[in-house]
Structure 1
Amino acid sequence: MEMRGIMGGFYKISEWIMRLSVTNVLWAICSIPFWFFVFSALFLPTSEQGSTIGMLYVAIAVSPFTLFPATAAMFTVARKWVMGEVDVPLFKTFFRGYKENFLQSMLGGLLYAVLFAIMVVDLTVYRSEPSMQLISFLFIGFLFILIVSLFNFFSMLVHYHMKTFQLLKNAVLITIGRPFRSIGTLAMAIVVLMASWKFTFLFPFFTGSVIAFLSYWNFNLIYQKMQAQAEKLAAAEAEQASNDESEDETSDIVTGKK
Structure 2
Amino acid sequence: MKFGDILLNFCQWVFRFIILNFLWVIFMVLGGVVLGIMPSTVAMFHVLRKWIQGEMDINIFKTFKDVYKREFITSNKCGLIFLLIFAFLALDLNILYQIQAIYSTILYVIVMAVLFFVSMSFLYFFPTYVQYKLSVKDYIKNSFILCLSSPFETILILVGFGILYYIVKINPGLIIFFSTVVPSYWVMHVLYKKFLKLQKSF
Q: TM-score, normalised by structure 1?
A: 0.70
TM-superposed deviation, 1:88: 1.8
1:60-209 alignment runs, 5 A limit: 63=34, 65-131=35-101, 132-193=104-165, 195-196=167-168, 199-209=171-181
1:24 pairs, out of 21, 26, 46, with 21
Kindly tell me the number of residue pairs found equivalent between the two proteins.
200
Supply the distance in 2 between the matched residues of 1:153 and 1:210 (Cα, whole angstroms): 17
Q: TM-score, normalised by structure 2?
A: 0.87
1:247 matched to which residue of 2? none
TM-superposed deviation, 1:33: 8.3
For 1:205, give the aligned amino acid: F
Moved over 6 A (4+): none
Identity in percent? 26
2:187 pairs, out of 215, 219, 234, with 215
Distance 1:198 1:143, change over 3 A: farther
TM-superposed deviation, 1:197: 5.4
**Relative contact order (C-alpha < 8 Å, sep 6+): which is higher?**
2
TM-superposed deviation, 1:134: 2.8
Distance 1:30 1:197, change over 3 A: farther
SS in structure 2 at match of 1:148: helix
Structure 2 runs not aligned, ≥5 long: none
SS in structure 1 at match of 2:179: helix
Larger radius of gyration: 1
Supply the distance in 2 between the matched residues of 1:76 and 1:157 (Cα, whole angstroms): 9
SS in structure 1 at match of 2:21: helix
Supply the distance in 1 between the matched residues of 2:65 and 2:119 (Cα, whole angstroms): 24
TM-superposed deviation, 1:124: 3.1
Distance 1:123 1:195, change over 3 A: farther
1:55 matched to which residue of 2? none
Supply the distance in 2 between the matched residues of 1:122 and 1:98 (Cα, whole angstroms): 34
